[in-house]
């Protein structure tokens, strides 16, 4: 890639970033956004909270599962250290 192409590509990237920063954010009108006190909006808000709670519950389940794996591994390791290895077999 030549220096000229890199410079042009850098300029285009800077211009695109500038357009994103300067452009006004798109805001929905009250018809599209909905009435905050309407039953549909309250129901949607409740559904979103329910799904967030469900995701949180699953994450807590995964964390507890891995903590249980860790506890069991430590317990198994402690039991292995308690065992005495007999070398040489049976004495006659």
CA distances from 38 to 43, 45, 53, 57 (A): 9, 11, 23, 29
Global confidence as pTM: 0.50
Q: pLDDT at position 43, please? A: 86
Q: Which has the closest alpha carbon to 38: 28, 46, 27?
A: 46
Q: Tell whether the model's pLDDT for residue 41 goes beyond 90.
A: no
Band the pLDDT of 57: cuts 50, 70, 90. very high
Token couple for 79: 């039991």
Rounded CA separation 75/81 (Å) = 10
Q: Tell whether the model's pLDDT for residue 92 goes beyond 60.
A: no
């Amino acid at each position: 890639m030549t220096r000229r192409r890199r410079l042009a590509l850098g300029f285009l990237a800077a211009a695109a970033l500038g357009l994103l920063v300067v452009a006004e954010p798109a805001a929905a009108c009250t018809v599209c956004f909905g009435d905050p006190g309407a039953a549909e909006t309250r129901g949607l808000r409740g559904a979103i909270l329910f799904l967030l709670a469900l995701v949180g519950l699953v994450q807590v389940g995964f964390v507890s599962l891995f903590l249980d794996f860790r506890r069991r591994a430590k317990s198994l390791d402690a039991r292995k250290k308690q065992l005495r290895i007999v070398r040489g077999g049976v004495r006659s």
